[in-house]
Each structure stands twice: as C-alpha cells, then as structure tokens.
Structure 1
Amino acid sequence: MEVDQLRYFLRVAERGNFTRAAEELNISQPALSRSIQKLEEELGQPVFERKTRSVALTDAGTLLQSRAQQILALIEDTKAEISDDGRSGQIRIGAIPTIAPFFLPDLLRKFSTEFPAASIIVQEDTTDHLLKRCTQGEIDLAILALPVPAKYLEVEELFQEELLLVLPPNHPLVNKPQIRLNDIKALPFVLLDEAHCLSDNIVSFCRQRSFHPVAVEQTSQLAMVQELVSLSHGISMVPQMARKLDQSDRRVYRSMSGIKPVRKIAMVWNPYRFQSRLLQAFQERLRTYAREQDACPS
C-alpha cells in the first residue's frame, strides 16, 4: 500500500467521481482507476461501489477513509516537525470571502517581511468547506465569522467589527442625523446568498429585533452587493473592513444608532495536528493585528 494510493483514494472518496478526482490530481483517469484497483486487490475487497456516474464508499472503504486520513496526517505532521526551524516552511490559511481580501493582505505583507523564508498559501472558501478542510488537515488555520459549528476544533475570538448600513447616495436616509431600525424595516435588502455567513449575521440581528429583512436580490460577491446598492436596488449592511477599502462616491455608509449590528471574527485550528513554530508565530502576529482592528468593544 503506497502513500499516493491513499491520497488518490481519499480524493475519489471526497469527490464521489473518478473523472473529477483525476482532473484535480492531474493524472489520467485510467491511471487513477488502476491505482484504486491495485489497492482493492491488496485489501481483498472493493472500497467503492461503482455506479453509472458516481461512486460510493463500501463498508471497507469507509473504514479505509478514516485510517487513510490518520496515516497521511501522521506523515505530514512528522515531516513538518522534523523540518520545523521556526523561520521557514509552509502555512496554509483559509478565510471566508468577506474577510480574505479585506483583512489578510496587509497582515500577510507584514508577516512576509518578518519571515521572508516562509510560504503562505491562502484558500478562500465558505465556512462549511473551511471547517472540513481544517478538520482534515488540508489547511492549518481558518479565519471565520462566528458562530461556527467547530466540533473537535479550537476556536479563538479575535475581534468584533461593526456592520455598516450602505445606501445609494440619493437615498432619503442619507441626510437623516440618526438612522434607527424602524427606518429600514420596510426597505428592500440586497444580501449575499445563503452560502455566506454574513447574510446570517444580518438576518439574525434583525430577527432579534423583531423584523425580517426582505431580500429582493442575492449574489455571491460582496462587491456585487455594493454595486447593486449603488444602482438603488436596495440597501444592505457591509463589514467595516470592506468599507475601509471602498473609495467610491457611489455609495454612502452610515452607522446605525442604538445597538449596532456587529460580527465576531475568530481563528480556528485543529489542536490534534502538529503546530509548527512558524504557525504559532503567525497566530501571535494575527492576534496582535486583530487587536489593532477591533473598533467594537466586546
């Protein structure tokens, strides 16, 4: 049984399809099929139930999936621990799309200056996918918005940030000295789609105050939310970190009066995986950088 066989097996198990797995592994489908066939011959039974366009794990495959994940994690951790000098190496960071482009660039520049021999790979994805990757050891650290269903993962809150009301410049509320919840209850909202937790943060805040925002449009990009607001399709709420980078005069940002909508940003990691000194250094720089961003008292 070879390490590559286990990697190939896990990718097919995750994708449920030989063709997609082969494309991601950058090998031919016949080569992938032969590798899995040899694995099954060694085990003496099939690990996949073949269907017309997909595959499903057999009982043996389910057991092998758990063991293969443990074996590969042990190999990767052993390599990392042996080569850990605290200055070089690779860190794999994951972040949700409403954080990654606004929060990470300056932090990564500062860290790269201090640790020039370090390599940092950033993966942008939804919360559910990042938690899964963190659990499986595919990334070392995830930066997310709370709450998160982080079973077997360590979660540390970093800071809070305000969600600002964003309006088109000709909106009647722009010149109002104070904007309260009653002023926006009947207004149409532009929100991110359900895959993004920012919409959950906004809807949860509104529901706690006895109203449900009516979403007239949903999109997958925060930049598109801002553009649709500029075109008077509706109003929305945008994180403070995104507002800082928005230099356009086609949108107006206002802070709500009274209890303000906020979201809590946290880092998540797998405490059962080896934590390199380089990763620990990154966590410390992340904590320091986060304290500088915290404009909302906990």
Structure 2
Amino acid sequence: MTALQVAHEAGSGAVPAWDDLRAFLAVARTGNFTRAAEELHTSQPTVTRQVQRLERQLGTALFGRTRREVWLTAEGRTLLKWVARMEDNALRGIAACTRPLPAEVHIASYSYSVGHLMEELEAEDSQVEWHVATLPPEPALHQLARDEVHAALCYTTTSSQRAEIASSSQGLAVQDLVQEPVWLALPLGHRLATRASITPADLVREKWISAGRGPLHEMLAEMCSAAGFVPDVRHVAEDPSTVGALLSHGKALSLSSPTIDTRGEFLLKPLENGPTRRIFLAWKPERLRPEATSVVLAAARRWYRRRAATNPDYLALLNSQLGEALEADHRERR
C-alpha cells in the first residue's frame, strides 16, 4: 500500500497537490533541495515548504536529512515509484494530444502492395502503429464515412464511378496523387508486342482477362464500347498474381497499372488514347489533422514512385507529375 493510499484510508485529507508531488520528485531525483528548486524554477524555501506539507498530509517522513545529505526513506522510495509513473502517464497523455498523428492510423488502400506502403509510412513516423488493408475504392470510402479508417487511398475509373464517388464523398477532403494512364498487359509473343503504338481499335478481336467484376472491368467495357466493340472476356481473376499467370501463359490480354512488376513474364505497353484513372487520398479533416495528412501523402507519393520504378518508360512520365511534390516532401523532412 502506498503512502497516498494510507493517507486516504486514514482520512488525512484530499489527494496531495501536484505541485507538492513535483517538488518531491525533483528532490528525490537531484538529492538536493537547492538543485530541485533550480530544476523547478522556484526558490529553495518554496520546495522545502512543499515537501514538508506533503509529509504532513501523508503523515510520514519521505526524506532523511542532514546538513549535507538528503535520502529517501522506505516510504519515500515506495511513493517515488508511483508518482514517477503518474508523471510519465501525464507526459504521455500530453504528447498524444499534441502529436499530429494518432497513436494508431488505419488506411484502406486499393493496392495489394501494402508492404511497401507500410515501409514508407513507418519511415515517416515509426512511433505510429500503422494499419493498411486492401479494399476496392467504394468499400474503402464507405469505411471512411463510418470512421472505420482514417484515410482511403482510392482511384476513379469510369465516368459513372466518378459521379458515384463524388456523391458519396461529401464531408471528405480529397487530394489527388497522380493521374495514371492504364496500360495494356500482353503475352511476350503476342502479335502486338513489337508495335510502337497501340490503340483500343487494334484490340477488336482479342481475348481478355478481366481483373474481377469491379472498376477495372467497367473500365474495359467502357473503353471497348467507345471503340465500337464488346470485349471477349474469357477469364475473370480478382488476384493480380492470377492475372499475371494467365498473361505469362499467353491466354489473353488485360488492362493494367503501369506500375505492375512483370518480372519479365509478360509485357506492358502504353495505349494511345487509352483510359486513365485518378488516384487520390481521401480523409475526414476532423479525424486527420493537416500535419498528419501531409505525412500520409508524402509516404503515398514515395510508395507510388517506388512501384513505378519497375517500369522505366512510365517512370519518366511520372516524374513530371510527382517531381515537385516529392521535392517538397524531401525539403520538409530535412
């Protein structure tokens, strides 16, 4: 039982004042009333009065004293452990309230490449416990609206989806990351593999792999419709690794992000007048402060550029979009 508990059960009065406890801590740490006063920016007589008042209130001596020495009594040592913990908890609470980022941040991302995104987030702030989950744009924004995540890294594809996301994003802040051209993924020996320029009209008789029935499938349908044909979808695969395996075996074509690592198993080619998707970060300003948003955006930009580095042709185009933002992030970190 601590001295505080003894005093309370004995009915000796209210919990001691924090200033008196701070004076006790300072003397215990410095072993000297004068040095404790200097640490607290007050006078030595004030510290002496505060410690004496605390001892009277607790009904026990906390220090042994001679003219040259001050030491903790057994009760003083017991009290020190608990009061030091009180101070530490108070400082942690103050830090949590004033830090730009919460202790935990949950992010929904459209990409399966969450490992590299986690690395970039931790490089920005290693004290935060980051959580990143892969979700398509629509469910991610719904979770954001319900306060289940702090931010959502999303993309828009078709015109109908842009309108739907705009209507569901009221009250959200949105910052564009990049306008990404969608490229054509095709087998290594495909007839179009050596073509310098490919348009949607060149793909009329091709077989297709659709990346699920979500946004990219809608984008494929919209692109082909604009070119005057219906895509012949032979395979539907949600997992990017399955799409890659089908491509490497020459089964069909697919639409793809230019940041996908082909590992030399298939080709990525730009599409002339092809579709694009807008990649953006969405968040609620009341849950993610401006300083925190800057941290997440900086990490997301570096993560995206890191992915694009697997495709030198696309990276050259990307630098014109992200170059200034990345340089600004670098200056802020320094």
Q: TM-score, normalised by structure 1?
A: 0.61
User: C-alpha separation between the residues in 1 aligned to 2:143 and 2:280?
Assistant: 16
Match of 2:225 in 1: 207
User: C-alpha separation between the residues in 1 aligned to 2:121 and 2:237?
Assistant: 33
Distance 1:285-1:176 versus aligned 2 partners, 3 A rule:
closer
Question: Residue 251 of structure 1 is aligned with which of 263, 266, 269?
Answer: 266
Structure having greater relative contact order (Cα 8 Å, sep ≥ 6)? 1
String of CA shifts for 1:29-76, please: whole Å, max 9, x gaps.
xxxxxxxxxxxxxxxxxxxxxxxxxxxxxxxxxxxxxxxxxxxxxxxx
Contact 1:168/1:235 (8 A) holds in 2: yes
Higher gyration radius (CA): 2
RMSD over equivalenced CA pairs, Å: 2.9
String of CA shifts for 1:80-132, please: whole Å, max 9, x gaps.
99634236611110012xx241xx54443233123121111011122222111
Contact 1:206/1:213 (8 A) holds in 2: yes
Paired residue total:
210
Match of 1:66 in 2: none
Match of 2:240 in 1: 222
Distance 1:155-1:186 versus aligned 2 partners, 3 A rule:
same
Alignment partner of 1:173: what SS?
coil
Match of 1:176 in 2: 195
Match of 2:215 in 1: 197
Alignment partner of 2:140: what SS?
helix
Distance 1:80-1:253 versus aligned 2 partners, 3 A rule:
farther
Contact 2:124/2:295 (8 A) holds in 1: no
User: Where do 5+ consecutive residues of structure 2 fail to align?
Assistant: 1-92, 157-161, 309-314, 322-334
State yes or no: 1:95 paired with 2:95. no
Question: Residue 234 of structure 1 is aligned with which of 237, 252, 255?
Answer: 252
Contact 1:88/1:117 (8 A) holds in 2: no
Question: Residue 265 of structure 1 is aligned with which of 270, 274, 279?
Answer: 279
Question: Residue 130 of structure 2 is aligned with which of 120, 124, 138?
Answer: 120
Contact 2:177/2:301 (8 A) holds in 1: no
Distance 1:278-1:210 versus aligned 2 partners, 3 A rule:
same
Contact 2:121/2:296 (8 A) holds in 1: no
Match of 1:129 in 2: 139
User: C-alpha separation between the residues in 2 aligned to 1:202 and 1:80?
Assistant: 52
State yes or no: 1:281 paired with 2:294. yes
User: Where do 5+ consecutive residues of structure 1 fail to align?
Assistant: 1-78
User: C-alpha separation between the residues in 1 aligned to 2:288 and 2:186?
Assistant: 44
Contact 1:94/1:122 (8 A) holds in 2: yes
Match of 1:140 in 2: 150
